[in-house]
A = this chain, B = another copy of it.
Amino acid sequence: MNQKIDNLSKILIEKNIKPSYQRIKILQYINENINHPTVDTIFNSLIKEIPTLSKATVYNTLELFKSTNLAKVLTIEDNETRYDSKVHSHGHFKCESCGTIYDFEADIDNLAVDSLKYFKIKDKNVYFKGICPKCLEKNKN
Number of copies: 2
Given contacts A78-B78, A121-B130, contact A106 B96 (CB under 8 A): no
Specify which of B113, B119, B121, B129 is in contact with A123 (CB 8 Å cutoff).
B129
**A 53-78 to B, binary, CB cutoff 8 A, 1 in contact else 0:** 00000000000000000000101111
A side interface size, CB within 8 A: 37
A40 vs B3: C-alpha distance when bound (angstroms): 51
Cβ–Cβ < 8 Å partners of A102 in chain B? 119
- Contact B118–A133 (Cβ < 8 Å): yes
Specify which of B77, B107, B136 is in contact with A75 (CB 8 Å cutoff).
B77
8 contacts between A and B (CB under 8 A): A73-B78, A76-B125, A78-B81, A106-B113, A119-B136, A120-B130, A122-B131, A123-B129
**Residues of A in contact with B (beta carbons under 8 Å apart):** 73, 75-78, 81, 91, 93, 96, 102, 104-108, 111-113, 115-116, 118-133, 136
